[in-house]
Amino acid sequence: MRQNNLSRGSERTYPLRMPPGWEPPVPAFSSEFGAATNEISMAVIGCQFSRPHRDRLYEIVAGLELLLRKVGEADHVDLSECPIDGTGHSQFVATCYWLKPDAMAKFFDTTDFKAFWARHSTEGLAYGVFREFFNIPMKRFETLHSGPDHIVGIAHARQSVSDPILRHAYWGSMRDRIEESATDELEPVGDIEVLEKGPNRIVVRPNQNLAVIRSGQDLTKATGVEREEYFSDIEPVLKAGMKFLRDNGLEEVNCIDCRYMSLLEEGGTRKDHTYGLAYFRSLKDLEQWAEFHPTHLAIFNAFMEFAPRYGPEMRSRYWHEVSVLPAVSQIAEYINCAPGTGLLSGVRN
């Protein structure tokens, strides 16, 4: 077995939490990107609306997807919908990734994107738009997949998939998979900073070491009893966990924002594939919620009863992507959005 992203070798200041002689009870895998990839750019670009505008707004985000693929040359784009965000509105979101340095910045600088953005930024429109964009050094990034064959998110652009990894299935394994954590505790520094503020627009920069997670469950291939049991035993506790993070996360566990999303088919129909997109003030806050909070423990425990019943025959797939952001080049812009949208909920007055 070998470990993803960890072969570049460095002395550890902080020990691994992996127990000595650890053998994971089930296999898991990580995406691999090759030594030439030092950074991933990720952007969450979306619109916020109230329900009656759904069809019209889907067209806008579908147009954006086309732009991202054709003009932006994004390495991957997926579309998803959040039925209710932390402000009570809905969102359509394009999540896009680039492996080439500066490709995201170049896209934002194209006349096509600028025209698109200007068209949807006029004061008084019935919807808001936003973009949250992050530059993630590979050393601060990790992925986990329950199956080596499962392709989602940045895995669409990966070079290969690892062999079964050792560093998973114990608390603290997420941190152990992040290379930088060997020498840096990744503690949060500073607050979310307001860079610009106008009548209908606000631009912020996250605090250093903000932790971003996309954590998903893909039921598209699950059938029969497995499918029924997922929806009866796991989905209710998952929804409760996502609701807790959305509504109480900031006060209770330093989760600045959580959106429970459905990935979309072409045309806007929801897939049987959901994920949580959450921003925590720090990796430690994310770890603490996962390890100790009853809402994640309920999800985890339900899964631990469910998964062994299917073993290698399990058709549903589980995955996550986690990044811990350095202070530089991380920006979020909100135009005509409700107060408290996304990272705005973490701005201290």
| Binding stretches for ligand HEM (CB under 6 A) | 28, 168-169, 171-174, 213, 215, 217, 234, 238, 276, 278, 286-287, 290-291, 296, 299-300, 303, 318
Those residues whose C-beta lies under 8 Å from the C-beta of residue 232, and which sit 6 or more positions away, are none
Residue 148 has a CB neighbour count (10 Å cut-off) of: 16
Residue 43 and residue 311: Cα distance in Å, rounded? 35
Determine the angle formed by the axes of helices 111-119 and 54-70, rounding to 10 degrees: 170
Nearer to ligand HEM, 217 or 336 (CB): 217
Q: How far is the CB of 55 from ligand HEM (least distance, A)?
A: 28
Structural contact between residues 325 and 136, judged by C-beta atoms closer than 8 angstroms: yes
Nearer to ligand HEM, 123 or 247 (CB): 247
150, 168, 273, 320: the catalytic one is: 320
Nearer to ligand HEM, 201 or 284 (CB): 284
Those residues whose C-beta lies under 8 Å from the C-beta of residue 12, and which sit 6 or more positions away, are 182, 183
Nearer to ligand HEM, 307 or 327 (CB): 307
Is 168 part of the annotated catalytic residue set? Answer: no
Q: How far is the CB of 14 from ligand HEM (least distance, A)?
A: 14
Closest CA to 321 of 84, 135, 140, 93: 140
Q: What is the largest CA-CA distance in the chain?
A: 61
Q: How far is the CB of 261 from ligand HEM (least distance, A)?
A: 10
Q: How far is the CB of 24 from ligand HEM (least distance, A)?
A: 7
Structural contact between residues 346 and 256, judged by C-beta atoms closer than 8 angstroms: yes
Q: How far is the CB of 214 from ligand HEM (least distance, A)?
A: 8
Q: Positive or negative CA dihedral for 113, 119, 120, 123?
A: positive
Nearer to ligand HEM, 78 or 333 (CB): 78
Q: Hey, which residues are catalytic here?
A: 320
